[in-house]
Amino acid sequence: MVEEALTSAVIAGFCYREAMRSLFCLLAALISFPPVVMAQDSMTVIKAAHLIDPVAGKMLTDQVIVISGDRIAAFGAAADILVPADAQLIDLGTATVLPGLIDAHVHLTNDYRQQGYQKLQYSIPRMALHGAYNARRTLEAGFTAVRNLGAAGYSDIAIRDAIVAGELPGPRMRVSGPPIGSTGGHCDSNWLPPRYQDRAAGVADGPWAIREKVRETRKFGADIIKFCATGGVLSKGDPVGDQQLTQEEMNALVDEAHRMGFKVAAHAHGTEGINAAIDAGVDSVEHASLIDERGIRLAKRWGTVLVMDIYVDTYILEHGTEFGLLPESLEKEKEIGQLQRDNFRKAHNAGVKMAFGSDAAIFPHGTNAKQFAYMVEYGMSPMEAIQAATVNAAELLGWDEDIGAIAPGYFADIIAVAGNPLENVTVLEDVRFVMQGGKVVKQ
């Protein structure tokens, strides 16, 4: 009996050890070899007879783009790409395909028809609704990402968030909220007499007040900081070229923004204000109308991007009176318009990095691409103009690993036009096909 009991105990112990060993092996296997989950994203394939690759600076032929979900999974010559049998095929025929365009300077919430004193009746809720309308127009025009530089009441942040939430169609957005500026300057409101005590939300004077305003702008959801270094064309009572913040104030603003990880855009027409902004370390200078040789050297040395809106001069002078622009604004535009275009050529010839920025809102949204023809007229090749609106602008927005190129891992933001933009850049004014994040927006 004792021997039988001992035998049973040994057998039981052996079985227990084997069971534990088996359980341990099973757990180890599960940890070492997790289950393979097959992707459920639908696959889409775009056939492109012609494709502009702005990274390589080349026109490619007979290309295939494989899209999984909202990103590009594969891209290359049709002979080299294995196309999934169950993929949805989009054959764009003889069209030219290129990455979605990027406009680095827009004002979606502004209406080109509301100029001068007419702006006083334009409420913030109305701006937000108009901005939603303009967001769709901009996207359908082939601009799948924008940088919105200035909006009252943080209305641009509301639009950005609604687009992200899928509630509105529109481009990917970097937004500044109300721009920061000095009392009585271009970023202030100078339209009403003193008894109304009207003051723009971004006004601050002195380095510490400006730091506080940067923090406030971040608090309410902005992801880029814009400030006014000089006067402007459409503001009342300030000479267009006057520097409106001291060097100390600009230094404090840029230091505070960069410490938070924000990029800084400086509105600057005047020479001294441009140079002071570059010395302060801004990431981009907007307009840069009266930039001089020193400013060009500084911009090239520090990698400061110039965003020069050289189309708007034509629209302002042709239609400004019709939409209520003040006579002083028209005079200021006559003063700097051609100078800005000449300086665009000088900066480009010197090798300064430039990004496409149209200042849409001074002219109708959705016609942003009219700027391309002027960029080519004043010195850029069509490929360089396209690169300014793709790879250069993507880098400026901080999204150069997600947009601005057709490559594996990038968002499937893709457009197509009839004709060859490298032969006639104006075909970009008529975008026939738009895809954003793998979804067809316009076909």
User: Which residue type is seen at 193?
Assistant: P
Are the C-beta atoms of 73 and 67 separated by less than 8 Å?
Answer: yes
Residue indicated by tokens 């021997």 = 3
Element (H, E) at 3: helix 2-32
The residue type at 256: E
Q: How many CB atoms lie within 10 A of CB 345?
A: 14
Longest dimension (CA), the chain: 117
Classify strands 431-436 and 439-442 as parallel, antiparallel or unpaired: antiparallel
H-helix or E-strand containing 306?
strand 305-307
Q: How far apart, in whole angstroms, are the C-alpha atoms of residue 353 and residue 198?
A: 38
* 43-99+426-442 CATH choice from 3.90.1150.10, 2.30.40.10, 3.40.50.300, 1.10.1520.10: 2.30.40.10
Q: Give the residue from 220, 225, 227 showing the smallest Cα distance to 204.
A: 227
Query: In the beta sheet, which residues pair with residue 174?
Result: 147
What per-residue confidence (pLDDT) applies to 113? 67
Residues paired with residue 103 on neighbouring β-strands, in sequence order: 146
pLDDT of 82 = 85
Report how far residue 74's alpha carbon sits from residue 65's, in angstroms, rounded to the nearest whole number: 6
If DSSP codes are grouped into helix, strand and coil, which group holds residue 146?
strand
Instruction: Compute the distance between CA of residue 354 and CA of residue 357 in angstroms, rounded to an integer.
Output: 9
Question: Quick one: pLDDT at residue 322?
Answer: 85
pLDDT in tens, the chain (443 residues): 333 433 344 334 433 344 444 433 333 333 332 332 224 457 999 999 999 999 999 999 999 999 999 999 999 999 998 888 889 999 999 999 999 999 999 999 988 667 656 676 778 899 999 999 999 999 999 999 999 999 999 999 999 999 999 999 999 999 999 999 999 999 888 777 788 887 878 999 999 999 999 999 999 999 999 999 999 998 888 899 999 999 999 999 999 999 999 999 999 999 999 999 999 999 999 999 999 999 999 999 999 999 999 999 999 999 988 887 888 888 999 999 999 999 999 999 999 999 999 999 999 999 999 999 999 999 999 999 999 999 999 999 999 999 999 999 999 999 999 999 999 999 999 999 999 999 999 98
Please pick, among 223, 313, 359, 413, the residue that the annotation labels catalytic: 359
Alpha helices in 234-370 (DSSP H): 247-259, 271-280, 293-302, 312-319, 327-349
Q: Is 226 a catalytic residue?
A: yes
- Fold of the 101-403 domain: TIM Barrel (3.20.20)
**Residue 189 has what pLDDT?**
85
pLDDT at 27: 34
Give the type of residue at 423: E
Residue-level pLDDT at 13? 44
How is 337-362 classified by DSSP, letter by letter? HHHHHHHHHHHHHTT--B-----BTS
Measure the CA–CA gap between 209 and 213, rounded to whole angstroms.
6
The encoded tokens of residue 303 equal 């990698």
Model-level pTM? 0.89
Q: Positive or negative CA dihedral for 72, 429, 382, 306?
A: negative
Looking at residue 143, its pLDDT comes to 98
Exactly one of 226, 263, 332, 370 is catalytic; name it: 226
Cα 356 from Cα 68, distance rounded (Å): 29
User: Which residues lie below 8 Å from residue 163, measured CB to CB, with a gap of 6+?
Assistant: 135, 169, 170, 171, 172, 173
Alpha helices in 102-149 (DSSP H): 124-140
Residues 231, 33: Cα–Cα separation, whole Å: 64
| Rg of the chain taking only CA atoms, in angstroms | 28
Domain boundaries, the chain: 43-99+426-442, 101-403
Give me the residue label for tokens 């067809």: 440
User: In which element (H, E) is residue 43 found?
Assistant: strand 43-53
Tokens at residue 11, please?
């057998």
How far apart CA 313 and CA 261 sit, in angstroms, is 34
Residues 6+ apart with CB under 8 A from 293: none
